[in-house]
Structure 1
Amino acid sequence: MKKDQLIQDWLDKELSTEEKLQVEEVIEFTERLKVPDFGKSKEEAWSDLIAKIESKPSDNLRVLQPNGTKKTPWLWLVAAAIIALVAVFGYLNKGEKLTTYTASDGELATIVLPDNSTVTLNAGSTLSFKEKDFEKNRWVTLSGEAFFDVEHGEAFKVLGNHSHITVLGTSFNVYSRSNQLKVSVFTGKVQVESRGNSVIIEKEEEAQLIEGELAVSEFNLNQTATWREGNFYFNSEPLNNVIEELERQFEIEIEVKSEIGQRFYSGFFSKTNMKEALQLVFVPMGLSIQTEGNQVIVE
Structure 2
Amino acid sequence: MSSNSENSEDFLARWLSGEISPEEKEAFESSAEARDLKEILQSVDKVAMPAYDVEAELTRLKASIEQEKTATKVRSISPIWRMAVAAVLIIGVSFVYFLTRPNWEVYATGFGETQVITLPDRSVVTLNVNSVLKYKPDSYAENRELALTGEAFFEVTKGVNFQVNTDEGEVIVKGTSFNVRQRGERLDVQVYTGVVNVIENEVDKTLRKGDAIRIEKGRLVNESVNDVGEKPLWLTDNIVELEDVALADALESLRNSFGISIESDISLTSERFTGSYPGDNVEVAIQIVLSTHAIEYDYDSASKKLVIKGVAGN
Q: Does 1:178 align with 2:184?
A: yes
Q: How many residues align?
A: 207
Q: Does 1:294 align with 2:314?
A: no
What's 1:68 paired with? none
Q: Relative to structure 1, is the Cα distance of residues 168 and 238 closer, same or farther in structure 2, using a 3 angstrom cutoff?
A: same
Runs ≥4 in structure 1, deviation > 3 angstroms? Answer: 93-96
Percent of paired sites with the same residue:
29
In 1: Cα distance, 2:267 partner to 2:134 partner = 37
Q: Does 1:221 align with 2:228?
A: yes
In 2: Cα distance, 1:96 partner to 1:255 partner = 38
What's 1:237 paired with? 245
In 1: Cα distance, 2:287 partner to 2:105 partner = 39
Contact 2:185 2:216 (C-alpha < 8 Å) held by counterparts: no
Contact 2:240 2:277 (C-alpha < 8 Å) held by counterparts: yes
Aligned partner of 1:259 among 255, 258, 267: 267
Contact 1:166 1:191 (C-alpha < 8 Å) held by counterparts: yes
In 2: Cα distance, 1:157 partner to 1:233 partner = 25
Greater gyration radius: 2
Structure 2 SS opposite 1:175: strand
Aligned partner of 1:148 among 134, 143, 154: 154
Alignment of 1:56-67 (within 5 A): none
Aligned partner of 1:131 among 121, 124, 137: 137
Contact 1:162 1:194 (C-alpha < 8 Å) held by counterparts: yes
Contact 1:161 1:177 (C-alpha < 8 Å) held by counterparts: no
Q: Relative to structure 1, is the Cα distance of residues 224 and 241 closer, same or farther in structure 2, using a 3 angstrom cutoff?
A: farther
Structure 1 SS opposite 2:257: helix
Alignment of 1:77-156 (within 5 A): 97-156=103-162
Per-residue CA deviations over 1:119-160 (Å, capped at 9, x if unaligned) read 011111000001124222111100111100000011111111
Q: Relative to structure 1, is the Cα distance of residues 140 and 168 closer, same or farther in structure 2, using a 3 angstrom cutoff?
A: same
How far residue 284 of structure 1 moved from its aligned partner, in angstroms, is 3.1
- Long gaps (5+) in structure 2: 1-98, 310-314
In 2: Cα distance, 1:98 partner to 1:249 partner = 26
TM-score, scaled to structure 2 = 0.62
In 2: Cα distance, 1:177 partner to 1:159 partner = 13
Q: Relative to structure 1, is the Cα distance of residues 264 and 126 closer, same or farther in structure 2, using a 3 angstrom cutoff?
A: same
Contact 1:201 1:216 (C-alpha < 8 Å) held by counterparts: no
> 2:232 is aligned with what amino acid?
A
Aligned partner of 1:285 among 288, 293, 311: 293
Contact 1:224 1:233 (C-alpha < 8 Å) held by counterparts: no
Q: Relative to structure 1, is the Cα distance of residues 180 and 224 closer, same or farther in structure 2, using a 3 angstrom cutoff?
A: farther
TM-score, scaled to structure 1 = 0.65
- Long gaps (5+) in structure 1: 1-92
Q: Does 1:163 align with 2:173?
A: no
Structure 2 SS opposite 1:285: coil
Q: Relative to structure 1, is the Cα distance of residues 102 and 236 closer, same or farther in structure 2, using a 3 angstrom cutoff?
A: same
Q: Relative to structure 1, is the Cα distance of residues 137 and 212 closer, same or farther in structure 2, using a 3 angstrom cutoff?
A: closer
In 2: Cα distance, 1:96 partner to 1:234 partner = 36
How far residue 161 of structure 1 moved from its aligned partner, in angstroms, is 0.9
Per-residue CA deviations over 1:165-199 (Å, capped at 9, x if unaligned) read 11000000011122111111100001111023211
